[in-house]
Amino acid sequence: MDDLIKKGAQMIKDAQKILVFTGAGLSTESGIPDFRSPGGLWEKYDPMDFYYQKFISDEGARTKYWEMVKDVYEILAKASPNRAHMAIKTLEDQKKLLSVVTQNIDGLHHEAGNSKDKIIEIHGTVATISCLSCGRQYMKDEIIRRLNSGVKLPYCGQCSGILKPDSISFGQAMPEDKMSLAIMHARECDLCIVIGSSLVVYPAASIPEYAAQGQAKLMIINRESTPLDRSADLLIRQSVSVLADMVSV
């Protein structure tokens, strides 16, 4: 057995309260390209068009935004949880998972079977869409049907207000309740596993920092370097699927 996998398996075995922090690198192995990577959506669209203030004030920007969202939904429809997602579900089954804090908006932790109350989506989700005026919430399938029927700019059926997926846009405030809960769990965990995140997007990236500053062990599984590499008790530059090998030991 690879020594790194063996060490990781022992860290997991010894832990009782594991916080898993996941980023785009987890989703790419489910076929969802990182927006920033070559071939990602930011090659087709200008992210400057999607700042929150522009979204709510410019109808043209909203039309471009929904064109992009339609592309996102088509990508997500083809994706499914990978071995690492299922390994995180296994950690919950083993009663070791405190929570999974994710930067991803794809909902794959839900599809993998993790309990809703174990998942903290700090960047929100595209699974639901809400009216910014009356607050009515729609499931994505209803809005997808509108987009596929030719509607380019959907509005709320209740008050005609602006609709927006429940994901966090550039310039939009982070959800304080989710951040507070994630920080609390970071301070409480005895092992923090960072998987598929380069830890450069803040304030989300501060979550593993809180864990590292406390008594928790830190494991980082990511193909690229991160600012926290020097603080890691175990650093693995391999596929995220290596987590499944650790959990199955």
Angle at 41 (CA atoms; ends 38, 43), nearest 5 degrees: 55
Reduce the secondary structure of the chain to three states and give it as a string: CCHHHHHHHHHHHHCCCEEEEECHHHHHCCCCCCCCCCCCHHHHCCHHHHCHHHHHHCHHHHHHHHHHHHHHHHHHHCCCCCHHHHHHHHHHHCCCEEEEEECCCCCHHHHHCCCHHHEEECCEEEEEEEECCCCCEEEHHHHHHHHHCCCCCCECCCCCCEEEEEECCCCCCCCHHHHHHHHHHHHHCCEEEEECCCCCCCCCCHHHHHHHHCCCEEEEECCCCCCCHHHCCEEECCCCCHHHHHHCC
Per the CB < 8 A criterion, the answer to whether 170 and 55 are in contact is no
- Cα dihedral value 130, 131, 136, 142, nearest 10: -60
What are the tens digits of pLDDT across the range 188-229? 999 999 999 999 988 999 999 999 998 899 999 999 999 999
- 85 catalytic? Reply is no
Q: Are strands 163-167 and 124-131 parallel, antiparallel or unpaired?
A: antiparallel
49 confidence band (pLDDT: 50, 70, 90) = confident
What are the residues whose beta carbons fall under 8 Å from the beta carbon of 218, sequence distance 6 or more? 191, 192, 194, 208, 211, 212, 228, 231, 232, 233, 234
**pTM score > 0.85 for this model?**
yes
Domain ranges of the chain: 1-31+80-123+174-249, 33-78+126-167
Tell me the pLDDT tens digit for each residue of 83-120: 999 999 999 999 999 999 999 999 999 999 999 999 99
The pLDDT of residue 48 is 76
- What is the Cα–Cα distance from 192 to 12, expressed in whole angstroms? 10
For the cut 60, the answer to whether the pLDDT of residue 1 exceeds it is: no
Instruction: Indicate the CATH number for domain 33-78+126-167.
Output: 3.30.1600.10
Cα–Cα dist 160/177, whole Å = 28
Q: What is the mean pLDDT of residues 34-46?
A: 66
Determine the pLDDT at residue 38: 61
Kindly state the tokens that stand for 48.
Answer: 């400057």
pLDDT band at 36 (very low <50, low <70, confident <90, very high): low
Q: Active-site residue among 85, 109, 110, 123? A: 123
Sign of CA dihedral 148, 152, 153, 157: negative
For the ranges 116-120, 172-176, 179-183, which has the lowest average pLDDT?
Answer: 172-176
Contact in structure between 205 and 163 (CB atoms under 8 Å): no
Q: Does domain 1-31+80-123+174-249 have CATH number 3.40.50.1220?
A: yes
Within a 13 Å sphere around the CA of 205, how many CA atoms are in the beta-carbon half? 13
